[in-house]
Structure 1
Amino acid sequence: MAAVPQTASIFRVDKFVVPEAAREKFVERLRTIQALLDGFEGCLQNLVLEQISGPGTFNFVTIVEWASQEAMDNARKIATAEYARTNFNPQEFMQQLGITADMGNYGGIR
């Protein structure tokens, strides 16, 4: 996989399959995470999208645009510390609610 130059925006795209019974708890957690990320330096855009039509597998998508790899790495460190402080384990949370995810970092095609 080709490396994206450090000056290019980095997009974190996470796609989720969320059972209807887990929707409320999941959305509540997304709002908490979105508020946390919005405060980080280098967070250019932070979207939470819910599928409203179509045959897709994933019913939620989050897209966060970071100014650089460095900004994303710094945010990850701070978020990890916050999760430890609040005793939140994202993998355990998703497993308990029956949520599956496909997560990755993306760069623009030039």
Structure 2
Amino acid sequence: MTPLTTALDDPRLRFRIDCFSVPAASRGEFEEATRRNLDFISTLPGFRGHLVFRKTGGPTAFDVVTLAVWESQEAIDRAATAVRAHYERIGFDRAASLERWQVRSELGGYELLRGP
């Protein structure tokens, strides 16, 4: 996996932040699928790094958060297409897996808020 090592002040950068609520019984399978996905996306053009957070406290329902950094929105768009094709090749149905694991998720694209 590619750790986050890029400076975040480039205005072209875009961020994919995904939040998950993962039941303990599904944690192993979920984390393995997350590792496979991160290993794949780290090979794609425009990928700049990632971080994975595991909750240690606080009132949020989400206990796993991933942050992927991309050089541009175009890189994210190309990556989304590549990930869908990769999932099809390996026979991974993301929606069905999340349902089977009883994982709740919220996914989004972000840009860094700049200025005062």
* TM-score in same-fold range (> 0.5): yes
* 1:17 aligned onto 2:21: yes
Deviations 1:29-70, CA, capped at 9 Å, x for gaps: 010001001111111121121112223210000100110011
1:104 and 2:104 equivalent? Answer: no
- Match in the other structure for 1:75: 79
Q: Counterparts in 2 of 1:81-92, with a 5 A limit?
A: 81-92=85-96
Letter in 2 for 1:54: G
CA distance in 2, matches of 1:104, 1:95: 19
Which ranges in structure 1 are unaligned for 5 or more consecutive residues? Answer: 1-6
Contact 1:37 1:46 in 2 (8 A): no
Are 2:97 and 1:93 equivalent residues in the alignment? yes
Aligned equivalent of 1:3 = none
Distance 2:56 2:33 in 1: 20
Measure the CA separation in 2 of the matches of 1:108 and 1:47: 16
Q: How many pairs were matched up? A: 104
Partner of 1:4: none
CA distance in 2, matches of 1:109, 1:53: 26
**Could you give the per-residue CA deviations for residues 74-100 of structure 1, whole angstroms, max 9, x where no partner exists?**
111111111111111111110001000
RMSD: 1.1
Q: TM-score, normalised by structure 2?
A: 0.85
| 1:28 has 2:32 as partner | yes
Q: Percent of pairs identical after alignment?
A: 32
